[in-house]
Structure 1
Amino acid sequence: MEKFINRKYELGVLEERFLSERSEMIIIYGRRRVGKTELIQKFLTNVSGIYLLGREESEFDQLRRFSSIIASHFNDDVLLKNHFRSWDALFEYINRESEKRLMLVIDEFPYLLKSSSALPSIIQDYWDNKLRYKKLFLVLCGSSIGMMENLMGYTSPLYGRRTGQLLIKPFRFKDTMKFFPHYDIKEKIQAYTILGGTAAYLSQFSDSICIKENIKCKILRKDNFLFMDPVFILREELDEPRYYFSILKSIANGNTKLGNIVNDVGLPKGIVGKYLSVLIDLHIIEREVPVTEFHPQKTRKGLYKIKDNFFRFWFGSVYPYLESIEQGNMDFVLDKAVNFIERVIPFTYEDICREFLVEINQKNTLPFLFFRAGRWWDGGNEIDIVALNEETKEILFCECKWTEKKVGLKILNELKEKAKLVQWHNQDRKEYFALFSKSGFEADLKDKVLLFDLNDLSEEFEK
């Protein structure tokens, strides 16, 4: 049995609301494979409840299957022999049984809507007139982010009815470390660079073999689900996935500006902009702007990046070489994958360093408390992390170096020169500097700046 990792906050939210005895309608959603069902199943180990899983089948078959599950829960032989013929009958039954606390989970809710488009209206009717006065703890869960967010939107029959929602996000690096207790910190960072924080992907790798062997056996083999999973996910969410594939491949290969993406994929700017917006809505990519920008939506400095590390890896080092894999040129593709990791791992390291800063910021161990942190760039100048406090006008500049060389005074001086270019309260701000290094530091940096190496990151994340 796989180990359940973290999700303490989400479990705490569910427990608090369950114990309140109030009627609740909670919507749980998030990308496929992030661990929504595992979260619900973990909660149900301590709470008696009914778990219904939607399938792509007819309404008649859904109701017959659900009748059997509900009948088994309540030991109802009559229902077992005479199944529900309508959603009204099902919710009328649930209404009668909700005088006491009852948890009802409907997972993969979007599948039900394909055969029963009126279901949200039916739930609205029963919730408004009956269920909200009872003790029902209703959870609607789904992986189609667009459909689940529409369910909460103004035009949905369920608008204003939900009492809470949980967007289940991929694990942070800190949490992914627990999947690989036998790897050292460098190997854990490599694994995160490849797999990101998606629980189902992380569980495929084994820390009993090296990273390269994991790639060969768990991703490049055609019988493993990681080999084509991004394709299946995008085909489930999108009508014309082939154009999205081209855009994602372009971004994975380093084209982050809109103009560069347009030129690379050969599609009109308006079409590319539309597809980028859809990918943002699906939480697959994100538009990043310099942290000091006051109007993020209006700035032309926005850069696009693939938010999901595995999608980045797959579109950068698997998708372009599918024909080579089919032809059996495994070593060639494996070398390409290793080269790709070496190219993108510095960006992953920056993300991890920012996560580290957030951790220690919450513990008040930095010179000041920051409220915003991110990258900064202008023209050809870039600073890996800039952390800000608008109220106190304090600012922290950070450089993150994933190199084999120790970091010395030269890097600090270059960072200080770039800091002068950052237009943010220049006349009266208080500046601090920090350096992160994979390979440690030279002696000339002692006591001049905040210094963090891989051991510092490892110790903090393992607390």
Structure 2
Amino acid sequence: MALRRSDLHSSGESLSSFVGRKAELSVLSKRLKRVRETGSGVALALRGRRQVGKSRLIQEFCDRADVPYVFYTATKGASPVESVADFLRDLKDSSLPRDRDLVPSASAGSWPDAFRALAAALPDDRPCIVVLDELPWLSEQDGLFDGALQTAWDRLLSVRPVLLLLLGSDLHMMERLTAYDSPFYGRADNLILGPLDPAETGQALGLAAADAIDAHLVCGGLPGILRAWPHATPALAFLEQECADPASPVFSIPETSLLSEFPTPDQARRVLEAVGGGDRTHANIATTAGSREGALPSGSLSPLLRRLVEEKRVLAVDEPTSTRPGKPALYRVADSNLRLYLAILRGVHEQVRRGRPQAAYRLVERRWTSWRGRAVEPLIRESLSLAASEGALPWTETATVGGWWNRRFDPEVDLVGADRGPVAQRIDFVGSIKWLATPFDRHDLDDLTRAAPEVPGFTLGTTGLVVATLSGLAPNADNATVDLCWGPEQVIHSWT
């Protein structure tokens, strides 16, 4: 995780340990071990969305590694000459050079010059780390940068005991860095850094399972928001507090993300906002994102949706899971913090800016329960999928967990566990999600048992029934009918 617990506000507690990111630190340590054992260079490209904690993770790794390193962060909009000067300045001030006088002062120069200076500063007898952060900005500034990096790596750096870490937030440009037609193809391993998982969120904030899930839905697992979150504070109490602060990161981080990804209000931005506002189907998105002349044509919308899903990764697409192909596909904002901002917090922020914190929080209260009920669905599906992969479900061969619906959305089944998706050969279980303060009762169970046979592939007596509920099963629900009851503790445990 990209923060220390000491970075969080606490209620009189001493929070000094670095929480989470064990898998990522292990991957980095493995690469450094390879450098130490072989004496040769290893390159790793680390990509992830803004505010996910890439820089903080790498700084923690460098601190733990106890080897010389240089950490350079590019500046957006700087000229190539300015960037080279900044890099050489950081190199001279780092723990890397054997002799700082060997690092030239940078009044002018190019990236090939800078990489030669870097190679001269690298030790021959022990491993070291070189970090280039915000790499896509360097590629934007200088069209020759990628080629210069490749040449320097092949001729100067890869023969030295150096771990080269390349960081970037522009997912598409970072993918291009190691693509087949890129100069750096085949030279770097790739690591994607996702947000903190719900268990790490709960651990960082000192929250029990149900509150940890709410907190994760609000922050999206982004450390930049967690740093402003008082210890052991539930989500709604935190949001009420932030409604008095127009500069709160719960508003500024998703707003900044939108501006960086979509600096102009173009069609892609309108499509994203339509999905964030609750439109899930192709037809509804086309209508909302259209103009006074009418809905957005399919020939324009389909490529935009593909770009937002595959290139930008800001949207996710869900297809009905069953033994027969189904429609329609449903779109959602992939990051729950951005989803909350587009659905609720943007309107809340307008009230906060006008100095109306009470009105702002009333808006949160009115919309929270409905929004959470839909937003928690992909989280619960992922938790069940993780549990299945660990053999923690009665259905040990379940490989995917989705949902099912028809064109009329009548019925709409929240959970479908299958051997593959979206078109399965076998359906293991179907289920319903009720994430409310009231328990899952007999009425909810009757709805599920009526809807379940509609799912293609459902077999009475063979296909299991699963209930995911915030508040447990009511006494009037027939427990014998339910094969698995999945609550907040089970959801969080899936990530531990």
TM-score by length of 1: 0.89
- Contact 2:146/2:184 (8 A) holds in 1: yes
* Aligned-partner Cα distance in 2 for 1:366–1:210: 29
* Aligned-partner Cα distance in 1 for 2:376–2:442: 21
2:481 counterpart SS class: coil
* Residue type at the aligned position of 1:285: L
Corresponding residue number in structure 1 for 2:20: 6
Q: What's the CA shift string for 1:90-110, capped at 9, x where partnerless?
A: 222333436442321101112
Q: Choose the corresponding residue for 1:126, options 115, 128, 152.
A: 152
**How do 1:271-420 and structure 2 match up within 5 A?**
271-280=300-309, 281-292=311-322, 300-320=327-347, 323-369=350-396, 370-378=398-406, 379=408, 380-389=410-419, 393=426, 395-420=428-453
Residue 166 (structure 2) pairs with residue 140 (structure 1) = yes
Question: 1:38, CA displacement in angstroms?
Answer: 1.2
Corresponding residue number in structure 2 for 1:256: 280
- Contact 1:393/1:428 (8 A) holds in 2: no
Q: What's the CA shift string for 1:206-260, capped at 9, x where partnerless?
A: 2455534422443662222432332322222235335444433322332111111
- Contact 2:383/2:495 (8 A) holds in 1: no
Question: 1:27, CA displacement in angstroms?
Answer: 0.5
1:240 counterpart SS class: coil
The 1:419–1:455 alpha-carbon spacing in structure 2 relative to 1, beyond 3 Å, is: closer
Runs of 4+ in 1 over 4 A off after TM superposition: 242-245, 426-429
The 1:185–1:159 alpha-carbon spacing in structure 2 relative to 1, beyond 3 Å, is: same
* Aligned-partner Cα distance in 2 for 1:150–1:344: 36
Q: What's the CA shift string for 1:110-156, capped at 9, x where partnerless?
A: 22223222110011122333433333311110111122122222332
* Aligned-partner Cα distance in 2 for 1:415–1:44: 52
Corresponding residue number in structure 1 for 2:56: 38
Residue 483 (structure 2) pairs with residue 446 (structure 1) = no
2:199 counterpart SS class: helix
* Aligned-partner Cα distance in 1 for 2:465–2:435: 18
Percent of aligned positions that are identical: 21
Residue 30 (structure 2) pairs with residue 16 (structure 1) = yes
Residue 205 (structure 2) pairs with residue 180 (structure 1) = yes
Residue 221 (structure 2) pairs with residue 197 (structure 1) = yes
Question: 1:35, CA displacement in angstroms?
Answer: 0.8
The 1:365–1:447 alpha-carbon spacing in structure 2 relative to 1, beyond 3 Å, is: farther
* Aligned-partner Cα distance in 1 for 2:447–2:265: 43
Residue 106 (structure 2) pairs with residue 92 (structure 1) = no
More displaced, 221-230 or 14-23? 221-230
* Aligned-partner Cα distance in 2 for 1:360–1:330: 41
* Residue type at the aligned position of 1:177: G
* Residue type at the aligned position of 2:320: P
Corresponding residue number in structure 1 for 2:133: 107
Q: What's the CA shift string for 1:358-403, capped at 9, x where partnerless?
A: 3432442322221111111113211111111269945111211123
Question: 1:76, CA displacement in angstroms?
Answer: 2.3
More displaced, 442-451 or 103-112? 442-451
TM-score by length of 2: 0.83
* Aligned-partner Cα distance in 2 for 1:167–1:293: 32
* Aligned-partner Cα distance in 1 for 2:419–2:64: 42
Q: Choose the corresponding residue for 1:26, options 13, 36, 44.
A: 44
1:78 counterpart SS class: helix
* Aligned-partner Cα distance in 2 for 1:26–1:247: 34
The 1:209–1:432 alpha-carbon spacing in structure 2 relative to 1, beyond 3 Å, is: closer
Question: 1:77, CA displacement in angstroms?
Answer: 3.4
5+ residue gaps, structure 1: none
- Contact 1:23/1:133 (8 A) holds in 2: yes
Q: What's the CA shift string for 1:267-316, capped at 9, x where partnerless?
A: 42344434333332222211111123777xxx641111111111111111
- Contact 2:383/2:491 (8 A) holds in 1: no
* Aligned-partner Cα distance in 2 for 1:459–1:300: 31
2:275 counterpart SS class: helix
* Aligned-partner Cα distance in 2 for 1:437–1:40: 38
| Residue correspondences, number | 457
Corresponding residue number in structure 2 for 1:61: 82
2:210 counterpart SS class: helix
* Aligned-partner Cα distance in 1 for 2:53–2:222: 8
* Aligned-partner Cα distance in 2 for 1:452–1:178: 24
Question: 1:459, CA displacement in angstroms?
Answer: 7.2
More displaced, 434-443 or 310-319? 434-443
